[in-house]
Amino acid sequence: MQIKDLAQAARQASYTLSSLPVAERNKALQGIQSALIRYFPQIDRQNQADVRAAEEEKLAGPLLKRLRFDEKKRKDVISGIDSLIALPDPLGKTTLARELTPGLNLYRVSCPIGVIGVIFESRPDALVQIATLCLKSGNAALLKGGREALGTNRLLMQAMQEGAKGILPDGWAALLETRDDVKEMLDQDKWIDLIIPRGSNAFVRYIMDNTRIPVMGHAEGLCHTYVDASADTDQAVKITVDAKTQALAVCNATETLLVHRDIAAAFLPPCADALRAKGVRLLGDAETRKIIACEPAADADWETEYLDAILSIKVVSSVDEAIAHINRFGSHHTDAILARDEKAQQRFLSGVDSAGVYVNCSTRFADGYRYGFGAEVGISTGKLHARGPVGLEGLCTYKYHLIGSGQTVGEAEAGVIRYTHRDL
Amino acid sequence: MQIKDLAQAARQASYTLSSLPVAERNKALQGIQSALIRYFPQIDRQNQADVRAAEEEKLAGPLLKRLRFDEKKRKDVISGIDSLIALPDPLGKTTLARELTPGLNLYRVSCPIGVIGVIFESRPDALVQIATLCLKSGNAALLKGGREALGTNRLLMQAMQEGAKGILPDGWAALLETRDDVKEMLDQDKWIDLIIPRGSNAFVRYIMDNTRIPVMGHAEGLCHTYVDASADTDQAVKITVDAKTQALAVCNATETLLVHRDIAAAFLPPCADALRAKGVRLLGDAETRKIIACEPAADADWETEYLDAILSIKVVSSVDEAIAHINRFGSHHTDAILARDEKAQQRFLSGVDSAGVYVNCSTRFADGYRYGFGAEVGISTGKLHARGPVGLEGLCTYKYHLIGSGQTVGEAEAGVIRYTHRDL
């Protein structure tokens, strides 16, 4: 089947999905869960074969770890579906109700976006998570996983299709298999409403530059932690170490540390010790290097997302300088201030132009699960529609229902009927 | 000044604007209002000169009418600013408040988008409306009006700048003057967050195809009215006439009428008479032409936005056929069902994939003023961010504030702290 046909089938399916009551969508989720459990022995064997093949291709360790669909991940997938079923229906929620004139009422009601294309990494569990999130929110989905996971993904998709059969319209979800498929998908702006790419910066940029379909996601995660003059030094060390080292190759890890001049001498030495104990390489500006011994940071460092055990450090003279640095060099993902001074906190919260602006905690909290969204399809650093971790709500849009009893604009213009604009 | 510099100055101004309390923004609106009143005699003279020049260039009647900034429009502009001041602040609204773990609270707070570029038609009143809407919502704006209105617009902008001086940061609004300026603006994706184009289909498509900046708007307004078998015939005639003829060259006028077979013989003859009395030319499919005499509609008619006194008519056999026709040929703008049967209404409301889905009223109601939004910067037929008439709320986005007291993800993973996800 051509991608164009898959996309068109998904569009058709999306019209049925949008009218499907939540009980039916949950029933489909249950069917999918049962089918996955039935398929698990077969999926396990296929996944082991995929892993062996990847080992022979000398795939890097972290990638192999992601590819492995072991018992823990299988359990997580099953309990993830339970959580999703338990979440309230994101559709049909009325977010505005207003009488325009007696007998003519306006309602803004949440509804699915339609057809969503998601391109993700080699984790087979991501396939199930994303497909079920799209389903719960009434969207049809075209899904492209990592090449190495194709065997596992095919079986997962087969199981999901089987589990939802008779409940969902054909075409509710489809698996794309090759890079050429992705290329073709990017041309289907007639049938696809949104593309969510996950992966390397270069990859996300490539997607953004090669489609007319709206793209939601993040190319970069260049997060900052700013230690204000009023910070609690011990707490600031603890949070900085977590923000940099709790995980390295993740978009919400801190890449640049900004330190207020007045606290630098007290904060930097113990912080540097703690970071070095975790194996972090430090790069500092001139003022930092007067306080701690470290390599010099070049201008390019302020715009580098290391995704590694490297941290660039800069001393600043005010919260405003920190905000200006973050707005200029950051990626509008997540940035934190560590401070006891409430004025500094407020200034940072309103001044930093990022999806997540944090006070006295680790940038690593930027995540759909941690926010209680159930799961996320991705994190958005764009400013429109959804920002930050995107869960069920970000997969919905709204439409206006206007319910009348014969009203015309001519009557309104003639003063026969009058606007009341009374919220109901 | 180069457009790039204007855009960069707007970005800088946007950071100040985003932290400006609503009292300050309202004070600026008041200053702008006073300055406009002071400038009106001068603006009036300039506008008369602009109109004379346009007449010499043989500009079409409707365009001349739009260009004229007469006393009525001047009064509307002044009272429009009063309404805007009276509207509640769209910024700083908390739409989610959740304890992630004791002492770590997540808030989703509305904030400005940042820098918005708006390209609009030759109405000078639009310049003031759009600039003040952007200001109230804390956004910086780059504004390009019609060529014919340039003299008037320059003075309007000068008055607004003068009125806001000392309250707003320089660069909060700037006027673009030429098509080359617009071209240059489309390249400033580093500084501009959103483009809102208003104008002809071809123009909006051109904008969409020539920028990496997100675009919000509508290329087409191909609206439908569907008359169900259960409709009240008299009411349906009245609404159809309003939807087609209350204004012609507008995006929310009905262009295609769909009629259920069972009501066609009763409804079409009186409806055709009423429409013809208003000078509407009718084009019908084969079944329509068995009931009323009219020209044949070609396939191309179903996808034509006439913006004129022309209506295409098609007989359908069910509400589902009407929905399928609308989703296939429509522009996802506004579509109405006229029906007494509640099942048919519900099916239509959930099945039609448009920004506005109406029951028993005219498609002409799709408008920010009529919805009670104060004013609109445009109508969006895209599905992301804002749909339908875009007022203050559509010019805002949100960010997540996470307020902690030293929490790390490492502690959460180790079970030292536990997620509660309790809504506050």
Out of B114, B385, B404, closest to residue A358 by CB = B404
CB contact under 8 A, A387 and B400: yes
Q: What is the DSSP string of B327-341?
A: HHHS-SSEEEEE-S-
First vs last C-alpha separation in chain B: 49
| pLDDT on residue B376 | 86
CB contact under 8 A, A402 and B349: no
Q: Which residues contact A178 (CB under 8 A, 6 or more apart)?
A: none
Query: How far is B189 from chain A, CA to nearest CA, in Å?
Result: 12
Q: What is the pLDDT of residues B370-394, one digit of tens each?
A: 998 878 888 999 899 999 999 999 9
Query: How far is B382 from chain A, CA to nearest CA, in Å?
Result: 9
CB contact under 8 A, B408 and A382: no
Interface-testing mutation among B24, B392, B409, with chain A (most A C-beta atoms within 10 A): B409
- Flag the least confident range among B121-135, B191-205, B253-267: B191-205
Long-range contacts from B72-78, C-beta under 8 angstroms, 24+ separation: B73/B124, B73/B125, B74/B40, B74/B43, B74/B44, B76/B125, B77/B36, B77/B125, B77/B128, B77/B129, B78/B33, B78/B36, B78/B37
CB contact under 8 A, A360 and B209: no
CB atoms within 10 A of CB A290: 13
CB contact under 8 A, B387 and A372: no
Q: What is the pLDDT of residues B200-239, one digit of tens each?
A: 778 888 898 888 899 988 778 899 999 999 999 999 999 9
Domains delineated in chain B: 3-212+382-400 (3.40.605.10), 223-370 (3.40.309.10)
Which residues are B380's β-sheet partners? B388
- Flag the least confident range among A142-151, A215-224, B152-161: A215-224
Q: What is the pLDDT of residues A225-237, one digit of tens each?
A: 999 999 999 999 9
Residues of chain B with Cβ-Cβ distance to A19 below 8 Å are: 347, 350-351
Which residues are A106's β-sheet partners? A98, A402
User: Hey, what amino acid is at B424?
Assistant: L
- Residue B153 predicted with pLDDT over 80: yes
- The more confident residue out of B374 and B86 is B86
Out of B357, B370, B401, closest to residue A349 by CB = B401
At B312, the pLDDT band (50, 70, 90 cuts) reads: very high
- The more confident residue out of A378 and A316 is A316
- The more confident residue out of A265 and B59 is A265
Q: Taking a C-beta distance cutoff of 8 angstroms, is the pair A341, A228 a contact?
A: yes
How far is the C-alpha of A38 from the C-alpha of B15, rounded, in Å?
A: 55
Q: What is the mean pLDDT of residues B311-316?
A: 98
Query: How far is B219 from chain A, CA to nearest CA, in Å?
Result: 14
Q: What is the DSSP string of B347-414?
A: HHHHH--SSEEEEEE-GGG-SHHHHTSS--SEEE-SSSS--EEE-TGGGEEEEEEEEEEEE-HHHHHT
| pLDDT on residue B27 | 98
- Residue A72 predicted with pLDDT over 90: yes
Sheet strands (E) in A276-376: 281-284, 295-296, 310-316, 334-338, 356-361
State both tokens at B327.
Answer: 């989703």
| pLDDT on residue A219 | 72
**How many interface pairs between A and B have CB atoms less than 8 angstroms apart?**
223
Out of A401, A408, A421, closest to residue B246 by CB = A408
Q: Label residue B260 exposed, middle or buried (CB < 10 Å: 0-12, 13-18, 19+).
A: buried
| pLDDT on residue A84 | 93
At B63, the pLDDT band (50, 70, 90 cuts) reads: confident
CB contact under 8 A, A357 and B404: no
- Which chain B residue has the Cα nearest residue A138? B350
Q: Radius of gyration (Cα) for chain B, nearest Å?
A: 25
Q: Which residues contact A120 (CB under 8 A, 6 or more apart)?
A: A126, A127, A130, A143, A144, A145, A146, A198, A199
| pLDDT on residue A198 | 86
Residues of chain B with Cβ-Cβ distance to A106 below 8 Å are: 371-372
Rounded to 5°, angle at Cα A265 from A264 and A266: 95
Out of B235, B364, B400, closest to residue A409 by CB = B364
CB contact under 8 A, B384 and A357: no
State both tokens at A205.
Answer: 């940029």
Q: Taking a C-beta distance cutoff of 8 angstroms, is the pair A13, A171 a contact?
A: yes
How far is the C-alpha of B110 from the C-alpha of B400, rounded, in Å?
A: 9
Q: How many CA atoms does the CB half-sphere of A71 hold within 13 Å?
A: 0
Out of B194, B397, B403, closest to residue A359 by CB = B403
Q: What is the mean pLDDT of residues B41-60?
A: 94
Q: What is the mean pLDDT of residues B265-283?
A: 98
CB contact under 8 A, B402 and A358: yes
| pLDDT on residue B201 | 78
| pLDDT on residue B62 | 78
Q: Taking a C-beta distance cutoff of 8 angstroms, is the pair B307, B247 a contact?
A: no
Out of B106, B193, B382, closest to residue A383 by CB = B193
- Flag the least confident range among A57-71, A170-184, B41-55: A57-71
Q: What is the mean pLDDT of residues B280-291?
A: 98
Q: Taking a C-beta distance cutoff of 8 angstroms, is the pair A132, A80 a contact?
A: yes
At B199, the pLDDT band (50, 70, 90 cuts) reads: confident
Q: Which residues contact B369 (CB under 8 A, 6 or more apart)?
A: B375, B376
Q: What is the pLDDT of residues B342-372, one digit of tens each?
A: 999 999 999 999 999 999 999 999 999 899 8
CB contact under 8 A, B238 and A408: yes
Tell which residue, B324, B309, B328, B320, has the closest CA to residue B255: B309
| pLDDT on residue A280 | 97
